[in-house]
Amino acid sequence: MSSDLFQYVIRLGDNALINGQRLAEWCGHGPFLEEDLAMTNTALDLIGRARMLLTYAGELEGEGRSEDDLAYFRNEREFRNFHIMELPVGDFAFTTARQFLVDAYDYHYYRALRDSADATLAAIAAKTLKECEYHLRHSSEWMVRLGDGTEESHEKITRAVTGLMPFTPELFAADEVDRAMQEQGIGVDLDSIETSWNQEVDRVFSEAMLERPQISFTRGGGRQGLHSEHMGYLLAEMQSLQRAHPGLNW
Amino acid sequence: MPDKRLPLWEVFIRNKRGLDHKHAGSIHAADGEQALQYARDTYTRRNEGSSIWVVKSADIVASQPEDEDSFFEPAEDKIYRHPTFYDVPEDLKL
Amino acid sequence: MSNTAALSDTFQKRIDAEEKIEPRDWMPDAYRKTLVRQISQHAHSEIVGQLPEGNWITRAPTLRRKAILLAKVQDEGGHGLYLYSAAETLGVSREELIDQLHSGKAKYSSIFNYPTLTWADIGAIGWLVDAAAILNQIPLCRCSYGPYARAMVRICKEESFHMRQGYELLMTLCRGSDEQKAMAQDAVNRWWWPALMMFGPSDADSTHSAQSMQWKIKRFSNDDLRQKFVDQSVPQAEYLGITLPDPDLKWNEESGHYDFGEIDWEEFFQVIAGNGPCNHERMSARIKAHEDGAWVREAALAYADKQRQRAEKAAA
């Protein structure tokens, strides 16, 4: 087993899982019924993606761990998602901005990953890309509606973006796993993803009449399993039932 | 902004190629693009769609129930428009 | 015959002939009012019904269960949406209906005022609450009002997975550890009686029944449907190895049905009156979502307005 590949896949799986877990919190609480359904569709896509990736990670590891073993029985320090995924949902502006920044990343990421030398990853990427395309369309439009809507919405989305931007450099910080995977033609080139992402963000921000905020600090560490304070609570909630009654079928 | 309600849209779905678009229901949305997406998110969750139309409910021109007699009854006695009106030998393949 | 009497006569004849009433048709005010009340109550029940089950989305014990539950709670939102749309064809806006819910003027099914305390509650809701809902809903697919009947056809089609996933969930628990079995039994103990109450007051006390039957908005009596529910649930409980919490429950050879104990109607009316275990929490959650969403809806409208003006300007 290539432990680099395992790492690479589990990172992608964790990102999808934690983002999906957060977005699912909206179900039943959306700003209106239609959007409630739309957000849940995205959350379902993310959970579905996490399941595929974690299942594959378990296979790569070869120790018989299932998607659920990986989702429910790893501790916080073993999770490899970016910080931006685990931040609390906040208001609709915050959720929209997070989804947009992540959707733009995922779209370009999975687009490139379709050419992965790893056939399973390439197949997952091809399926995922279609979902990402729709998510990005949906969240980009909301960025524009909120940015160019009312004064109040402009203010709220500006605040959300300002709060989130420091979490974005982490998305592009390649480490040895990323580099090894890229060299083997399995992983993507994060530099070129960053270029595409920047163009996407600039395009939508300009349409949304939003200034791109200067970043004076950054947050990260998810790759090393160093998370924000929010992560512990997210996992405590998500894993509570399995941890209280381990080893059973549900 | 005079009306703070999201307008109502009627949704028409083509289940698969070769079929007509059929009225599926309605949704609320601020604009056409949003209406299209919500129609997709609401009415095609179970693989029911291959094409969607949305139209603002307010833009539909509809016949009135009281026009029913004058609109539709005159067609009733024009039975010569139907193939069964004509007697032709049965063994003839026409 | 006066004009109204003639219209009313045509209307009832159409219903008797099993023809549908469509939105622009003439209809008695009372018919319209009854429909708006019933459809919106039904829509509100779906929307409020998202909350008790939604309570377990973040804690679902497997990713498969999480996806199923999310899809199910989403379906309920969708059903609420179909039903609000059906009500809107009667000339009342969704905003008005939602205001009626939030002000307490409109009711919703009291079952959703009970808490979901354990994971097994998700199974019990699917098995019992959705089964009761389906029994209530299937006859509505033939309801005399076209848009309501069509919404119900769609809903019933989608509903069919809800009950099955609930039963499957309970089956997994009942074949599991002692703790899991106890969890399942406890959930059924708490949901059985409220599920029986879902069919409404007994026929003798039901205020709207006779007229609704004549209008073919309703086709079976509350008590008949309740009996059907009990009859179908008993063997399903036996298969699970679950005891239904009613000492009076027994097979009646003569009637060919199960006899069952007296429902605590005092509890039923208390919950309807707003004094159930979660009435306050459910309403607060709905009102909060709606109020927090106000600026979002306004922004979407403002943007659509700007776009329209820009397009007009460009065309001029």
All residue ranges of chain C with pLDDT < 50 are: none
Residue-range definition of the domain harbouring residue A52: 3-211+223-244
DSSP B63: -
Q: What is the ipTM of this complex?
A: 0.97
Answer yes or no: is A218 within a domain.
Answer: no
Q: Name the residue among C188, C197, C190 with its Cα closest to residue C237.
A: C188
All residue ranges of chain B with pLDDT < 70 are: 1-3, 94
What would the pLDDT profile of A95-115 be if each residue is shown by its tens digit?
Answer: 999 999 999 999 999 999 999
How far does the CA of residue A216 sit from the closest CA of chain B (Å)?
36
CATH number at A26 reads: 1.20.1260.10
Answer yes or no: is A249 within a domain.
Answer: no
DSSP B13: E
Number of domain units in chain A:
1
All residue ranges of chain A with pLDDT < 50 are: 1
Element (H, E) at C26: none
Answer yes or no: is A102 within a domain.
Answer: yes
Chain C residues with CB-CB distance to A156 below 8 A: 295
Helices A176-183 and A3-24 pack at an angle, to 10 degrees, of 120
Dihedral of CA atoms C60, C63, C65, C68 in degrees, nearest 10, equals 120
Q: Which tokens is A52 given?
A: 């595929």
Q: What does the pLDDT read at residue C218?
A: 87
Chain A residues with CB-CB distance to C47 below 8 A: 33
DSSP C244: -
Contact call for residues A124 and C278 (beta carbons, < 8 A):
no
Question: What domains are there in chain B, each with its CATH number?
Answer: 8-61 (3.10.20.520)
Q: Does A72 touch chain C (CB under 8 A)?
A: yes
Q: Name the residue among C45, C25, C235, C248 with its Cα closest to residue C129.
A: C45
Q: What does the pLDDT read at residue B3?
A: 62
The DSSP result for chain A, as a single string, is --HHHHHHHHHHHHHHHHHHHHHHTTTT--SSHHHHHHHHHHHHHHHHHHHHHHHHHHHHHTS---HHHHHHS--GGG----HHHHS---SHHHHHHHHHHHHHHHHHHHHHHTT-SSHHHHHHHHHHHHHHHHHHHHHHHHHHHHHTS-HHHHHHHHHHHHHHGGGSGGGG---HHHHHHHHTTSS--HHHHHHHHHHHHHHHHHHTT-PPPPPS-----GGGT---HHHHHHHHHHHHHHHHSTT---
Supply φ then ψ for residue B92, to 5 degrees. -80, 130
Chain A residues with CB-CB distance to B37 below 8 A: 38, 137-138, 141
C216: left (phi over 0), alpha (psi -120 to 50) or beta: left
- Interface probe for B, chosen from A34, A41, A45, A143 (most Cβ of B below 10 Å), is A34
How far does the CA of residue C297 sit from the closest CA of chain B (Å)?
7
Position C110, amino acid: S
B67 burial via Cβ count (<10 Å: 0-12, 13-18, 19+): exposed
The DSSP result for C247-307, as a single string, is TT-EEETTTTEEE-----HHHHHHIIIIISSSHHHHHHHHHHHHHHTHHHHHHHHHHHHHH
Element (H, E) at B10: strand B8-14
Instruction: Name every residue whose Cβ is closer than 8 Å to that of residue A30 and which is 6 or more positions away in sequence.
Output: A36, A37, A38, A39, C77, C289, C293
Q: Does A35 touch chain C (CB under 8 A)?
A: yes
Residue A159: CB atoms within 10 Å = 16
How far the first Cα of chain C sits from its last, in Å, is 56
Answer yes or no: is A151 within a domain.
Answer: yes
Q: Name the residue among C298, C111, C102, A134 with its Cα closest to residue B5.
A: C298
Q: Does A18 touch chain C (CB under 8 A)?
A: no
Residue C255: CB atoms within 10 Å = 9
